[in-house]
């Protein structure tokens, strides 16, 4: 139990997808996967149906169209992955830091998510409305916030709700060094006992569940003033405020 109180709801009707944007294909070690596992473990314990997509294991074409086979690419696994992402209430984009920024796999995933951003849901809102998003970042040094800023910005722009403290990560001291979970000389694993990382990972997992539950209970994100077809009547109306 996360608290001395009972959680305010049950979460076993929720689904979460983690996308791991590591550059290393399976079965190579992904340090980011270690942090994903911690986060997922928290959701699993509450009955959330979770799954992980390791992007680099899939043949995802670059581009900004929903299906790149319609734009000259011989193959593209994205459309199938997209269905899995769309079936989830919670999307966590996770990845490593390279030269202080997100990986190319992370950017490719965001580009492909963006490709469908003009589609609409049943309420006439953008397609991703009604879902919540978060971010996990690991590196050997420097850049969690820079990477998370970009990822969370992209998610809210697409229509995801970003709950409080929706990112977590681990980095070491400035300079090259071990990555998350690597063995130290004394046999312990660096980062795994980092209180700050563990706290943020916990906060994030729970805040994603809380928010997803609120949206699920509300039947999606409330409709009004946020539909592609009907907003114009409002702000383009004649009674604009006088100009400052």
Does 54 interact with its own copies (rule: CB under 8 A)? Answer: no
Does 58 interact with its own copies (rule: CB under 8 A)? Answer: no
Does 34 interact with its own copies (rule: CB under 8 A)? Answer: yes
Does 30 interact with its own copies (rule: CB under 8 A)? Answer: yes
Least distance in angstroms from the C-beta of 94 to its own copies: 12
Does 91 interact with its own copies (rule: CB under 8 A)? Answer: no
Q: Which of residues 214-233 bind its own copies (CB under 8 A)?
A: 214, 218, 221-227, 230-233
Omega before residue 128 within 30° of 0, cis:
no
Looking at beta carbons only, is 17 or 215 nearer to its own copies? 215
Least distance in angstroms from the C-beta of 46 to its own copies: 9
Does 154 interact with its own copies (rule: CB under 8 A)? Answer: yes
Q: Please state, in angstroms and rounded to a whole number, the distance separating the CA atoms of residues 100 and 146.
A: 7
Stretch that binds its own copies, among 76-84, 85-93, 145-153 (CB under 8 A): 145-153
Does 146 interact with its own copies (rule: CB under 8 A)? Answer: yes
Whose tokens are 């769309």? That residue is 86
Q: Please state, in angstroms and rounded to a whole number, the distance separating the CA atoms of residues 97 and 32.
A: 10
Q: Which of 206, 243, 190 is nearest to 92 (CA)?
A: 206
Least distance in angstroms from the C-beta of 213 to its own copies: 8
Does 95 interact with its own copies (rule: CB under 8 A)? Answer: no
- List Cβ neighbours of 107 (8 Å cut-off, separation of 6 or more): none
Q: Which of residues 104-133 bind its own copies (CB under 8 A)?
A: 104-108, 110-111, 114, 125-126, 128-129
- List Cβ neighbours of 190 (8 Å cut-off, separation of 6 or more): 172, 178, 179, 180, 181, 182, 183, 184
Stretch that binds its own copies, among 1-9, 75-83, 84-92 (CB under 8 A): 1-9
Does 148 interact with its own copies (rule: CB under 8 A)? Answer: yes
Q: Which of residues 65-84 bind its own copies (CB under 8 A)?
A: 72
The rounded radius of gyration (Å) of the Cα atoms in the chain is 19
Does 8 interact with its own copies (rule: CB under 8 A)? Answer: yes
* Identified binder of its own copies from the candidate list 10, 51, 62, 122, rule CB under 8 A: 62
Q: Which of residues 155-214 bind its own copies (CB under 8 A)?
A: 156-167, 169-176, 181, 189, 191-199, 201-203, 205-207, 209-211, 213-214
Q: Please state, in angstroms and rounded to a whole number, the distance separating the CA atoms of residues 61 and 219.
A: 34
What are the structure tokens assigned to 213, written together? Answer: 């539950």
Q: Please state, in angstroms and rounded to a whole number, the distance separating the CA atoms of residues 131 and 133.
A: 7
Q: Please state, in angstroms and rounded to a whole number, the distance separating the CA atoms of residues 244 and 242.
A: 6
- List Cβ neighbours of 243 (8 Å cut-off, separation of 6 or more): none
Does 236 interact with its own copies (rule: CB under 8 A)? Answer: yes
């Amino acid at each position: 139990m996360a608290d001395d109180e009972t959680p305010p709801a049950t979460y076993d009707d929720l689904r979460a997808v983690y996308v791991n944007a590591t550059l290393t294909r399976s079965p190579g070690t992904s340090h980011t996967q270690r942090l994903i596992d911690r986060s997922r473990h928290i959701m699993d314990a509450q009955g959330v149906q979770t799954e992980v997509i390791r992007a680099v294991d899939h043949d995802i074409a670059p581009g900004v169209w929903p299906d790149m086979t319609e734009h000259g690419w011989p193959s593209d696994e994205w459309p199938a992955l997209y269905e899995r992402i769309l079936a989830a209430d919670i999307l966590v984009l996770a990845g490593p830091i390279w030269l202080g920024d997100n990986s190319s796999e992370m950017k490719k995933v965001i580009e492909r998510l963006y490709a469908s951003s003009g589609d609409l849901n049943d309420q006439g809102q953008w397609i991703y409305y009604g879902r919540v998003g978060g971010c996990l970042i690991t590196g050997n040094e420097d850049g969690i916030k820079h990477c998370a800023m970009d990822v969370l910005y992209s998610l809210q722009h697409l229509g995801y709700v970003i709950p409080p403290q929706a990112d977590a990560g681990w980095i070491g001291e400035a300079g090259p060094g071990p990555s998350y979970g690597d063995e130290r000389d004394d046999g312990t694993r660096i980062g795994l006992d980092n209180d700050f990382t563990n706290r943020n990972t916990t906060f994030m997992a729970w805040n994603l569940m809380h928010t997803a539950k609120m949206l699920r209970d509300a039947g999606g994100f409330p409709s009004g003033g946020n539909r592609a077809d009907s907003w114009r009547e409002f702000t383009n109306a004649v009674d604009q405020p006088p100009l400052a």
